[in-house]
């Protein structure tokens, strides 16, 4: 087995582990740190797919800006000691366990009984060229110019609306 599948398996296992840790953590700061670990794993997986721009944006936008906001909100709320609730095994938990077990069975079936073809290449032949900043910029400003401009106008309207709503609440 070459290094690339092993690296993928390691990153995939680490991404799933950090996602599960983010969900089951009781401490919100530790949950946010697990989410940051998940973002870095996803960025590394983007790099394996030769999507350099997406990897950089994943780290800069999500792990940087969004997580700073999440940690700021956690600190702003100043959450105190948590109240321990009794764990009940109700309907929702039963459905969750059954669905989780079904997903585990499906993944096991896919891993064990799906034939592997050695000559089948998973990535497009031009994958190193498609994920670059130059290629993404060319596509955004030529083929997708109208949706890009429409998104910009939508974000501008949202910012103006937020400023107007915030101004009404101030004395």
CATH number of 1-81: 1.20.120.1200
In this structure, are residues 38 and 22 in contact, taking their beta carbons and an 8 Å threshold?
Answer: yes
DSSP of 63-83: IIIIHHHHHHHHHHHT--PPP
CA distance 18 to 22: 6
pLDDT tens-place string over residues 135-171: 888 888 999 999 999 999 999 999 898 888 877 766 6
What is the sign of the dihedral through the CA atoms of 140, 144, 145 and 151? negative
Q: How far apart are alpha carbons 98 and 92 in whole angstroms? A: 10
- pLDDT of 21-39, one tens digit each? 999 988 888 888 898 899 9
The domain limits of the chain are 1-81, 132-171
User: What mean pLDDT do residues 103-123 have?
Assistant: 73
């Amino acid at each position: 087995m070459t290094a690339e599948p092993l690296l993928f398996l390691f990153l995939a296992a680490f991404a799933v582990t950090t996602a599960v840790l983010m969900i089951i953590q009781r401490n919100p700061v530790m949950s946010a740190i697990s989410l940051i670990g998940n973002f870095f794993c996803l960025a590394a997986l983007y790099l394996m797919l030769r999507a350099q721009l997406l990897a950089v944006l994943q780290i800069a936008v999500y792990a940087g800006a969004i997580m700073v906001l999440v940690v700021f909100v956690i600190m702003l709320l100043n959450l105190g000691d948590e109240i321990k609730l009794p764990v009940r095994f109700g309907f929702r938990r039963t459905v969750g366990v059954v669905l989780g077990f079904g997903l585990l069975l499906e993944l096991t079936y896919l891993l064990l009984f799906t034939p592997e073809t050695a000559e089948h290449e998973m990535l497009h032949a031009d994958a190193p060229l498609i994920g670059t900043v130059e290629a993404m910029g060319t596509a955004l400003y030529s083929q997708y110019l109208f949706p890009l401009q429409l998104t910009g106008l939508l974000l501008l309207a949202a910012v103006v609306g937020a400023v107007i709503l915030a101004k009404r609440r101030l004395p």
